[in-house]
Structure 1
Amino acid sequence: MIAAPAPAAGPPPRGRDWFGHPPGLSILFLTEMWEMFSFFGMRALLVYYMTLRLDIRQDHASLIYGAYAAFVYFTPVFGGMAADRWLGKRRAVLLGGATMALGHFMMASEPLFYPALATIALGNGLFLPSLASQIEGLYRHGDPRSKSAYSVYYVGVNLGAFLAPLVCGTLGEALGWHWGFAAAGIGMLASLVIYVAGGRHLPPEPARAGAAPAPRPPVDRAVLGRFAFLLGVAAIVVVFRGAYEQVGNTIALWAEEGVDRHVTAGWSIPMTWFQALDSLVVFTATPLLVARWTRLARRGVETPWLHKMAFGAAVVGLSYLLLAGVSAWSEAHGARANWAWLVGWFVLMTLGELYILPVGLGLFGRMAPAGLRATSIAAWFFAGFFGNLLAGALGTLWRPLPHAWFFALVGGVAGLAAALLYMLGLRMGRVEGREEAAAAAVLSR
């Protein structure tokens, strides 16, 4: 049988809620918001910095971008294990955050470009799974608010990502790239300050004997079955991310070279600002979706997790097919596409994203075996490693293919992920329900 969590790891005593949830969720929300401000602030500048400042060829820049983004999702696998077995989640967050802040400030020096990327990726490995894995510990078993907690947390992720291109992107384009990178570093420091100040509202760490590893739960058939199911989902999400992760890569390039950004005769939209649209749609549409899902659940209508994710991937695929049509028209008429098409694409693509990424994070959080939650969350992020490698490889086709054909190809990749998720949902719907029930039974002990 799976060992129950240590009593010290239970949720903090129930006190006054903040915005209808435990205060710890607001602390995690704000901590992640500023961490995402730093991460997406740097990401908004990265492709432009490589191609316009460092004179790196586009295909090489896409590969570098994809490799960096991939390792951002690779390092959390080991960071999650270190947090579960040795460091504890709080130490991992503090050490990882400080390392990331150092990497962002290193980006201000051109000779330190590659070491800076590696430093940020290493720090992220400790920070990312250790922060998100504390959400479930804020709620007692059976608390209905826990189901929407991940979507609320995802709003924090995207609020930081919304502000980042507007602040860091504007500083980078107007004053110089290094000013934008420095602003990202300051955002990371703000994240650490909030986390330390709000520590009393977070779940306590399990008891640890000195530097000895925490007791490891026994691995039985139920644990293996649960992990096999989650790994199957993660493998399909790899395919989806090959399409989704074009946002900061080829979509950013299209905003520069294929879109008419003029609003008036004297002013055009900065190219980095478009990357804020994804996050803007997330935190405006999430409350509406959560309210709708809650109403349906009260009526006993609840769409299976995997079918929600399949629907999201299909919508993302359709959004790329829309861009393929717009690009085909633009190329046929020898004109750039109006900026409103790019805005519309971001709206449609992000609505699909809301059905797959926060839903998948919640699935992994709720089905994680006891004592291995950070490791399980890291496995979800690990899908981003292979997904970003795939996205980088697809990005090398940006120049050889007409843009219309490229977007059609990417739409087909997202459509393939949708079909696979739907088929897995049909085949494994019972497994999903059974394993989630088993996880709930363990947590209730």
Structure 2
Amino acid sequence: MATVMQGGGVPPHAKNLLGHPRGLFMLFFVEMWERFSYYGMRAILVLYLTKHFLLAEQPAYAIYGAYTSLVYITPIIGGYLADRYLGARKAVLAGGIFITLGHLVLALVEGPQGVQGATLSGFYFGLALIIVGTGFLKGNISVLVGKLYRRDDIRRDGAFSIFYMGINTGAFVGPIVIGILGETVGWGWGFGAAGIGMALGLIVYVLFTRELHGAGEPPSAQALASRPVAGLSIEWLIYLGAIVAIFGAWQLVDAQGLVAALLAVAAVVTVGYILYTAVARLPREERDRVFAALFLAALSPLFWALFEQTGSSLTVYTDQQVDRTLLGWAVPASVFQSVNPFFIITLAPVFGWLWVTLAKRGWEPSAPVKFGIGLVLVGAGFFALILGAPAQGLTPAIVIILLYLLHSAGELCFSPIGLSSMTRLSVANMTGLMMGTWFLATAGGNFLAGIIAQATGGEGAGPAQVLEVYGRIGWFAMGIGVVVLIVAPFVTRLMHLDTLGQPDHALAGQDTLAEPIATGIQTRDEQKPGL
């Protein structure tokens, strides 16, 4: 099998498609189906809890926040296990299997309306399977995209924009198919369609793994196959540990306080470990790049706390306060969650072309500048809703569509750039961990989104309270965005873009890494050539 080149990127003889390695488009389709299942299920999650299990809005928002934050915590562990043992390729496969099973459980546990008990507990178990599966898949599939390119390849941001378009193709189709099936035919039909979507992604991945050209292989096949406990290999011990973790996640889905504590502990341990490694073991330029990456990751919770109102409070607002009638048909509220990915699909090629064109001329905005713009736009989206909502009566659907347009433009300045920056700025041995840190920050944002959503709901709450909360968070996001634009030149200097293409030997041959199991970081000789 061909392997990725020293310094990153597929070998020169690998076939390209539209100027990019064909492996990019294989990963595009896998992520498309995974996002089909995730966003389609997310579109009906709060509606299912409030309309089928008859939960009040606030506890439904709490479950939503706990679930979506746990989905983004687990990539830290999945990233570490891939870096140290499994490799990203095996991790993605394992994650896809767990996710498929989770959606199928959700499809099978639907009981009579209003009946909770064992049925609701079974629903939580299905969510737990998805949580653990996403931990293996989500961060590592982005790592695989990054490993197809050299660190200084000007196609990288464009590649992540294309990959992000795959994410949003699935996110566009999912709420339409799953939302209509779930809200009009039966909730189980919607969840079943999500499981079928993830199964299709698995099939694509297995059939076309060869297009990765060795990217994401286990760092040491011999170590992975060793049998340290009861004759079981390390690989199978990892899979058994994942099954145990499913039962832990099962208990956490309905425990918002415990999730908050877990987020805090995970943040302190992960960021502390990265900072220690950067200060104690990395040369100045690589250390500065890690600092820049952590700065960008620190902005992620604010962005996602606002953006993720989409699946919680904005869905309920759309269901209750928006005129959804089209040609005499009341469009299901969940279908409106396809508006954002529609704009991503249509705008992503434009943004991808724009970044590459500006980069060739030396005019491309830095990642911190793009982040600042993204925060301003996501805050502005809520003001579009506030200004467009009438004092009485239903809000026109066009106002919600305008909000999603502004949020989508902000997302394209934020999320694909963040994915690219985590792989670009980290040293090769820490790529999975840094990507996991990005998703940990996203987890924090999703948890905060649940808290914000709870502030909009509650007994006696009306649309005025919802809009008041949106106004406060909109102003705050735009203010932080302006601050980021001001400090962007300093953060950009920390990225040392002029030397980014040099070979990465930052952690190679250091005596402090003689015990890689204790430190959690592989030596250069133990891993495949990567980023």
Answering whether residue 343 of structure 2 is matched by residue 344 of structure 1, we say: no
Which residue number corresponds to residue 97 of structure 1?
96
Q: Give 3-state SS (helix, strand or coil) of 2:365's partner.
A: coil
Q: Give 3-state SS (helix, strand or coil) of 2:326's partner.
A: strand
1:45 touches 1:172 (CA, 8 Å); kept in 2?
yes
Which residue number corresponds to residue 411 of structure 2?
353
Q: Give 3-state SS (helix, strand or coil) of 2:309's partner.
A: coil
Answering whether residue 273 of structure 2 is matched by residue 210 of structure 1, we say: no
Q: Give 3-state SS (helix, strand or coil) of 2:429's partner.
A: coil
Which residue number corresponds to residue 364 of structure 1?
422
2:85 touches 2:223 (CA, 8 Å); kept in 1?
no
Whichever residue aligns with residue 308 of structure 2, its letter is: E
Of 203-212 and 400-409, the range deviating more from structure 2: 203-212
* CA pair 438-297 structure 1, distance change in 2 beyond 3 A: closer
Q: For each residue in 1:360-391, what CA deviation from the matched residue of structure 2 results, as whole angstroms up to 9, or x when unmatched?
A: 11111211211221211111111111111111
1:141 touches 1:443 (CA, 8 Å); kept in 2?
no
Q: For each residue in 1:285-342, what CA deviation from the matched residue of structure 2 results, as whole angstroms up to 9, or x when unmatched?
A: 1111222222222222121111111011101111111112223xx2x2x200111111
Which residue number corresponds to residue 198 of structure 1?
208
2:95 touches 2:132 (CA, 8 Å); kept in 1?
yes
Whichever residue aligns with residue 397 of structure 2, its letter is: W
Which residue number corresponds to residue 188 of structure 2?
178
Q: Give, in angstroms, the shift of residue 148 of structure 1.
A: 1.0
Cα distance in 2, alignment partners of residues 98 and 184 from structure 1: 13
Answering whether residue 501 of structure 2 is matched by residue 440 of structure 1, we say: yes
1:242 touches 1:413 (CA, 8 Å); kept in 2?
no
Cα distance in 1, alignment partners of residues 435 and 9 from structure 2: 18
Which residue number corresponds to residue 295 of structure 2?
232
Matches within 5 A, 1:229-308: 229-264=292-327, 266-308=328-370
Runs of 4+ in 1 over 4 A off after TM superposition: 5-10, 436-439
Which residue number corresponds to residue 82 of structure 1?
81
Cα distance in 2, alignment partners of residues 12 and 98 from structure 1: 30
Q: Give 3-state SS (helix, strand or coil) of 2:428's partner.
A: coil
* CA pair 298-232 structure 1, distance change in 2 beyond 3 A: closer
Q: Give, in angstroms, the shift of residue 157 of structure 1.
A: 0.4
Answering whether residue 373 of structure 2 is matched by residue 373 of structure 1, we say: no
Whichever residue aligns with residue 100 of structure 2, its letter is: A
Answering whether residue 463 of structure 2 is matched by residue 405 of structure 1, we say: no
* CA pair 303-142 structure 1, distance change in 2 beyond 3 A: closer
2:322 touches 2:396 (CA, 8 Å); kept in 1?
yes
Whichever residue aligns with residue 172 of structure 1, its letter is: G
Q: Give, in angstroms, the shift of residue 13 of structure 1.
A: 4.8
Cα distance in 1, alignment partners of residues 102 and 196 from structure 2: 11
Q: Give 3-state SS (helix, strand or coil) of 2:311's partner.
A: coil
Q: Give, in angstroms, the shift of residue 27 of structure 1.
A: 0.5
Answering whether residue 175 of structure 2 is matched by residue 165 of structure 1, we say: yes
State the TM-score, normalizing by the size of structure 2.
Answer: 0.77
Of 224-233 and 237-246, the range deviating more from structure 2: 224-233
* CA pair 141-296 structure 1, distance change in 2 beyond 3 A: closer
Matches within 5 A, 1:47-126: 47-108=46-107, 109-110=109-110, 111=119, 112-126=122-136
2:88 touches 2:218 (CA, 8 Å); kept in 1?
no
Whichever residue aligns with residue 365 of structure 2, its letter is: T
Q: Give 3-state SS (helix, strand or coil) of 1:402's partner.
A: helix
Whichever residue aligns with residue 424 of structure 2, its letter is: R
Q: Give 3-state SS (helix, strand or coil) of 2:55's partner.
A: coil
2:100 touches 2:196 (CA, 8 Å); kept in 1?
yes
Q: Give, in angstroms, the shift of residue 397 of structure 1.
A: 1.0
Answering whether residue 453 of structure 2 is matched by residue 395 of structure 1, we say: yes
Q: Give 3-state SS (helix, strand or coil) of 2:410's partner.
A: helix
Which residue number corresponds to residue 46 of structure 1?
45
Q: Give 3-state SS (helix, strand or coil) of 1:133's partner.
A: helix
1:137 touches 1:203 (CA, 8 Å); kept in 2?
no
1:320 touches 1:411 (CA, 8 Å); kept in 2?
yes
Q: Give, in angstroms, the shift of residue 353 of structure 1.
A: 1.2
1:10 touches 1:203 (CA, 8 Å); kept in 2?
no
Cα distance in 1, alignment partners of residues 478 and 369 from structure 2: 13
Q: Which runs of 5+ in 2 are unaligned?
A: 111-118, 227-233, 236-276, 506-528
Cα distance in 1, alignment partners of residues 399 and 104 from structure 2: 35
Whichever residue aligns with residue 425 of structure 2, its letter is: M
Aligned residues: 433
Q: Give, in angstroms, the shift of residue 420 of structure 1.
A: 4.2
Q: For each residue in 1:192-241, what CA deviation from the matched residue of structure 2 results, as whole angstroms up to 9, or x when unmatched?
A: 11011111110412551332699x99932445443333222211211121
Q: Give, in angstroms, the shift of residue 19 of structure 1.
A: 2.2
Of 131-140 and 276-285, the range deviating more from structure 2: 131-140
Q: Give, in angstroms, the shift of residue 146 of structure 1.
A: 2.4
Q: Give, in angstroms, the shift of residue 151 of structure 1.
A: 0.6
Q: Give 3-state SS (helix, strand or coil) of 1:245's partner.
A: helix
Whichever residue aligns with residue 288 of structure 1, its letter is: V
Q: For each residue in 1:154-207, what CA deviation from the matched residue of structure 2 results, as whole angstroms up to 9, or x when unmatched?
A: 000000000001111111012101100000001111111101111111041255
Of 278-287 and 405-414, the range deviating more from structure 2: 405-414
Whichever residue aligns with residue 276 of structure 1, its letter is: S
Which residue number corresponds to residue 145 of structure 1?
155
Q: Give, in angstroms, the shift of residue 441 of structure 1.
A: 1.3
Which residue number corresponds to residue 30 of structure 1?
29
Which residue number corresponds to residue 20 of structure 1?
19
Whichever residue aligns with residue 57 of structure 2, its letter is: Q
1:9 touches 1:206 (CA, 8 Å); kept in 2?
no
2:84 touches 2:219 (CA, 8 Å); kept in 1?
no
Cα distance in 1, alignment partners of residues 8 and 384 from structure 2: 48
Q: For each residue in 1:85-115, what CA deviation from the matched residue of structure 2 results, as whole angstroms up to 9, or x when unmatched?
A: 0111111111111011111111121421111
Tell me which of 136, 150, 154 is aligned to 2:146: 136
Cα distance in 1, alignment partners of residues 143 and 181 from structure 2: 33
Identity within the alignment, %: 34
Q: Give 3-state SS (helix, strand or coil) of 1:441's partner.
A: coil
Q: Which runs of 5+ in 1 are unaligned?
A: none
1:11 touches 1:139 (CA, 8 Å); kept in 2?
yes
* CA pair 103-12 structure 1, distance change in 2 beyond 3 A: farther
CA RMSD of aligned residues (A): 2.3
Q: Give, in angstroms, the shift of residue 403 of structure 1.
A: 2.4
Which residue number corresponds to residue 414 of structure 1?
477
